[in-house]
Each structure stands twice: as structure tokens, then as C-alpha cells.
């Protein structure tokens, strides 16, 4: 339970959720832990099984970095996008089969964009298949002492057997920071830049809450809005885990309040640790995505259509300055105050976001790379016919590699139905990854067609 002098604030969390959602949300899991000592400063239902959604990608990062540590591949190893990866549902980068991306760039993409297709590409590059990678995820989870977790995919797309808990995610976060400190910058990236495309983080704390420096958000209808967040103040780092918030804004405000209260706590006399923190996961779909509710945290929408208190992913702003200027205008008027009670959050905005410098990424191999290419070791899925026939979108901005990048053609034969674009330098303003093409359709018969109206509409 929470320590006595923070109980009043934490009790307001239940009031907030009780006002905003069904009663099930009032018991949504939450936990705050000191990253260094492992002392639990606050916990509510921390061991209750919950659908983790995209915070799953923290385990994907751990398994991938562990593979680098053991020499199975390097951060510069090119990963080839498979048909299976290309068919993933959004959020996604939309890379075509045969596209190559380095492991380092892929890790940045899943931490910022939360791209499901890229998570599959990492899994297949590291373990040969999604299924083999899931076995590694579960082996690592057991080794770390994650008792409530079971993973079936690398991206967190909903599966009834894909579960974790707030306690387990806090354990994972601590071990990521302790075992791979040289890669801690992965978790606090505010935005990526791929050519002229700006890809901002879904983590509403980054650039808003003083000291916020990570880690990962997640959302599916069955889970609600989850976050594993870190913040550092006075050399002290805390980890906050929130599961099942009713929307992204309240998830961020709750994390702010938990951090505010917990940074004032130093020692509890008889500290509770993650190891001592003691049915199936609830499905939040009716409360989160029921009638009249629409939450698309991971789906890009135009800036002009965003509400004043929503933080969304926008990919076509043209420049980082334009994106963040618009984001600041949306959030003006009510920045976070220290120790704000959760019950006062109704109508409260997230506050201004500081200007964040996007980190450049690219597709293709690293300059001078002449090693192996990682990809699936099992037969690949065939691309969906509708995906193969879908024309390239007009007006998409080029995803250019930096000038220093040396292009090397793909050695292996690209997947059936895909255009091998790697050996051609795109003209300025053209998109690197063109749409897949198929054989020329048969000519239409002369005279009146015997096709049905539905068939004619599809021609």
C-alpha cells in the first residue's frame, strides 16, 4: 500500500477513475518504484494480470539488446522486412517487403512510433520467427522474476493469453536500465525524423514533466491506456507504471501526480520491494472503446483535427519546428503543478511541450556494411492481394537516408510481388519505398461485360 503521507493523493486516483469510467477502472493497477534501490513507494493491484499492449515492446528491446550482448548480431545488422511484417496492423511504418533497416534504427522506431511491423521485423531478425522470439521473451521473463507475464508476440497486439502486470513491467524497466545503461537514451527520444517525416513520441511526459526521460506507452481497447514512465530529479530516478487509464491525457496526468508525490518520499522504515509485492486479465474494451468512445492513440491524424488536450502522432508536418509549434499551441494554458490532486484533473490540459530535437533515422544498410542480413528463417507469408494492388499514396514525403549513407543493393531476391527498389536512386521528392506491383491484369473484354456490379467496381 502507499505510505501514510502519500495516501491522500493516491486515494484521489480512484476518485478520478470513478468519475471518468466504469467501476472496474477504479482498481486499475499502478506502481511507483525507486529505480536504484527497488523500494516500492506506491502500489495498487500491482500483481493483477493485465493486457500490456505496446509496453510489450520493452521486452522486445531487452531480448534484442541481449542478442547484441551475446554476439548474435550487432546494432548495425540490417533486418529485412518480411511479408508477415508488412501485413501487420497499425501502428506501423509501412515499409515494403524486402526493405532493410538496421537493428539500431528499428529499436528507435518501436520506442517512438510503436510500429507493430517493425517489432515483427526485429523478432524475425533476432530469432528467425515471431514464435521463436516469443519463446525467448518468456525465457527472459522467467529469468528476471516476472511472475505474471506471458508473451505471444513482440508488439503487444491483443491476445487473451498475452498478459503481464504492473510489478512485472517495473522489474523489466529496472533491468533494462541496469543491464544496458549504454542504451538508456532509447527511452527518452522525443521524435524521429525520416527524411522530411517527423514521428513524435506517444509519451506525453517527455518534454512536459520536469525530469521525464522514458519509457513506453501502450494502448489496445482491451487494456486501456498503459505507460511505463521514468523521471529523474536530484540524481534520483523513479519508475511509474500505470495500467488501464481511460485515455492518454489522464494517463499522463496520473503519472505526473504519482511522480510528484513519490519524489517527496525517502524511505519508509520497512521498505517494500518488488520481490515482496504480492483470475485472468480484465477486458477493458466496453469501458475504453464502447459506444460513443473512440481512442486512436497510435493512429496518425491531422494536427488541425486534434482536440486541445490530445497528443497525437502526425507524420506529414513537413518540419520539426512546425510540428512542435502546433503541439505547444494545443497544450497552452495549464501546465502541471507540483502535488496537484488527481480529483482536480477534469478539464486540465497537459501544458506546453518544450521544443524537442528529432533524432535522424534512415532505411537501408549502415555505411560500409558487408556482413550478413537478418530475417525470417521460416517460410514467409505471401502478401495479401489487396496489399499488392494498393497504389502508392500521392504526396507522401521521401524517406531519405543521410548523405553519408552508402547504398548497397539487396543481395537476396525480394519477395514475390515486391518491386526491388533498393538498387535505384530515387528522384528528389519521390518516395523510396514504392508500392508493390503485380502482373498486368487481363484486358477488359470488348462490348458489355458479364461481370457483376461489385466486380466492375473493383476493376
Residue 92: all three cell numbers together = 506501423
Residue 120: all three cell numbers together = 515483427
According to the model, what pLDDT value does residue 276 have?
65
CA distance 103 to 118: 10
According to the model, what pLDDT value does residue 265 have?
81
pLDDT at 113 over 70: yes
Q: Which of 101, 137, 132 is nearest to 378 (CA)?
A: 132
Strand duo 78-80 + 100-102: pairing: antiparallel
According to the model, what pLDDT value does residue 94 have?
95
Q: Where are the domains of the chain?
A: 4-189+205-283
Q: What's the whole-model pTM score? A: 0.70
Tell me what the mean pLDDT of segment 21-42 comes to. Answer: 77
C-alpha distances in angstroms, 250 versus 242, 256, 345? Answer: 10, 10, 8
Q: Is 135 helix (H, G, I), strand (E, B) or coil?
A: helix
Residues designated catalytic = 54, 57, 114
Mean pLDDT, the chain, rounded, equals 74
Segment among 44-48, 127-131, 233-237, 447-451 with least mean pLDDT: 447-451
According to the model, what pLDDT value does residue 382 have?
75
CA distance 162 to 164: 7
Tell me what the mean pLDDT of segment 430-444 comes to. Answer: 42
Q: Do residues 253 and 348 touch, judged by C-beta distance below 8 A? A: yes
Q: What are phi and psi of 14, to 5 degrees?
A: -60, -40
* Helix H or strand E segment including 200: strand 197-200
Comparing 76 with 448, which gets the higher pLDDT? 76
C-alpha atoms less than 13 angstroms from C-alpha of 266 in its C-beta half-sphere: 4
Q: Is 273 helix (H, G, I), strand (E, B) or coil?
A: strand
Residue 456: all three cell numbers together = 466492375
Q: How confident is the model at residue 282 (pLDDT cuts 50, 70, 90)?
A: low
Please state which CATH class domain 4-189+205-283 belongs to.
alpha beta
Q: How confident is the model at residue 57 (pLDDT cuts 50, 70, 90)?
A: very high
Q: How confident is the model at residue 59 (pLDDT cuts 50, 70, 90)?
A: very high
Torsion-angle region of 347 (φ positive above 0: left; ψ -120 to 50: alpha; else: beta): left
Residue 176: all three cell numbers together = 533494462
Query: Mind listing the pLDDT tens digit for each residue in 146-192?
Result: 999 999 999 999 999 999 999 999 999 999 999 999 999 999 999 99
Comparing 220 with 309, which gets the higher pLDDT? 220
According to the model, what pLDDT value does residue 274 have?
80
According to the model, what pLDDT value does residue 356 have?
78
Comparing 59 with 350, which gets the higher pLDDT? 59
How far from the centroid of its chain's Cα atoms is residue 444's Cα? Answer: 45
Helices 57-69 + 116-127 axis angle, to 10:
30
Number of Cβ atoms within 10 Å of the Cβ of 12? 18
CA distance 106 to 119: 8
According to the model, what pLDDT value does residue 334 have?
31
Query: Mind listing the pLDDT tens digit for each residue in 321-362?
Result: 444 444 444 333 333 332 333 444 555 566 667 777 899 999
According to the model, what pLDDT value does residue 357 have?
85
* Helix H or strand E segment including 127: helix 116-127
According to the model, what pLDDT value does residue 7 have?
45
Tell me what the mean pLDDT of segment 291-319 comes to. Answer: 37
C-alpha atoms less than 13 angstroms from C-alpha of 159 in its C-beta half-sphere: 16
Q: Which of 39, 38, 370, 359 is nearest to 200 (CA)?
A: 359
Segment among 109-118, 272-281, 338-347 with least mean pLDDT: 338-347
Tell me what the mean pLDDT of segment 219-225 comes to. Answer: 93
Query: Mind listing the pLDDT tens digit for each residue in 375-386?
Result: 998 888 876 554
Amino acid at each position: 500500500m502507499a505510505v501514510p503521507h502519500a495516501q491522500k493523493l493516491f486515494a484521489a486516483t480512484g476518485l478520478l477513475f470513478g468519475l471518468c469510467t466504469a467501476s472496474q477502472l477504479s482498481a486499475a493497477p499502478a506502481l511507483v518504484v525507486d529505480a536504484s534501490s527497488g523500494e516500492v513507494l506506491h502500489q495498487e493491484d500491482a500483481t493483477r494480470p493485465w493486457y500490456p499492449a505496446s509496453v510489450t515492446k520493452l521486452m522486445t528491446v531487452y531480448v534484442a539488446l541481449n542478442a547484441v550482448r551475446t554476439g548474435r548480431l550487432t546494432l548495425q545488422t540490417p533486418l529485412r522486412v518480411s511479408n508477415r511484417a508488412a501485413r501487420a496492423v497499425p501502428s506501423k511504418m509501412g515499409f515494403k517487403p524486402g526493405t532493410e533497416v538496421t537493428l539500431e534504427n528499428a529499436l528507435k522506431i518501436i520506442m517512438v512510433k510503436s510500429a507493430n511491423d517493425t517489432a515483427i521485423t526485429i523478432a524475425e531478425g533476432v530469432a528467425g520467427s515471431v514464435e521463436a522470439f516469443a519463446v525467448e521473451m518468456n525465457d527472459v521473463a522467467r529469468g528476471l522474476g516476472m511472475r505474471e507475464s506471458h508473451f505471444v508476440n513482440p508488439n503487444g497486439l491483443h491476445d487473451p493469453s498475452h498478459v503481464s502486470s504492473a510489478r512485472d513491467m517495473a522489474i523489466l524497466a529496472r533491468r533494462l536500465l541496469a543491464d544496458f545503461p549504454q542504451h538508456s537514451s532509447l527511452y527518452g527520444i522525443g521524435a524521429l525524423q525520416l527524411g522530411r517525416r517527423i514521428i513524435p513520441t506517444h509519451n506525453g511526459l517527455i518534454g512536459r514533466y520536469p525530469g521525464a526521460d522514458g519509457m513506453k506507452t501502450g494502448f489496445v481497447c482491451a487494456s486501456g491506456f498503459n505507460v511505463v514512465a521514468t523521471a529523474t530529479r536530484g540524481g534520483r530516478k523513479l519508475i511509474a507504471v500505470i495500467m488501464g487509464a481511460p485515455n492518454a491525457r489522464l494517463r499522463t496526468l496520473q503519472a505526473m501526480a504519482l511522480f510528484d508525490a513519490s519524489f517527496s518520499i525517502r524511505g519508509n522504515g520497512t521498505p517494500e520491494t518488488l520481490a515482496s509485492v504480492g483470475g485472468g486479465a480484465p477486458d477493458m474494451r466496453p469501458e475504453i472503446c464502447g459506444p460513443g468512445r473512440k481512442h486512436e492513440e497510435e493512429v496518425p491524424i491531422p494536427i488541425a483535427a486534434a482536440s486541445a488536450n490530445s497528443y497525437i502522432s502526425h507524420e506529414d508536418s513537413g518540419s520539426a519546428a512546425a510540428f512542435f509549434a502546433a503541439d505547444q499551441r494545443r497544450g497552452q494554458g495549464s501546465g502541471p503543478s507540483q502535488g496537484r490532486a488527481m480529483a482536480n484533473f477534469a478539464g486540465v490540459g497537459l501544458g506546453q511541450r518544450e521544443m524537442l530535437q528529432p533524432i535522424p533515422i534512415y532505411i537501408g544498410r549502415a555505411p560500409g556494411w558487408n556482413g550478413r542480413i537478418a530475417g525470417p528463417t521460416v517460410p514467409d507469408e505471401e502478401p495479401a492481394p489487396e496489399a499488392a494492388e494498393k497504389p502508392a499514396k500521392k504526396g507522401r514525403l521521401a524517406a531519405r537516408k543521410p548523405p553519408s549513407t552508402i547504398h548497397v543493393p539487396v543481395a537476396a531476391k525480394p519477395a514475390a510481388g515486391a518491386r526491388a527498389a533498393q538498387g535505384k536512386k530515387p528522384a528528389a521528392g519521390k518516395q523510396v519505398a514504392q508500392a508493390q506491383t503485380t502482373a498486368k491484369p487481363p484486358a477488359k473484354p470488348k462490348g458489355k461485360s458479364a461481370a457483376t456490379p461489385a466486380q466492375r467496381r473493383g476493376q
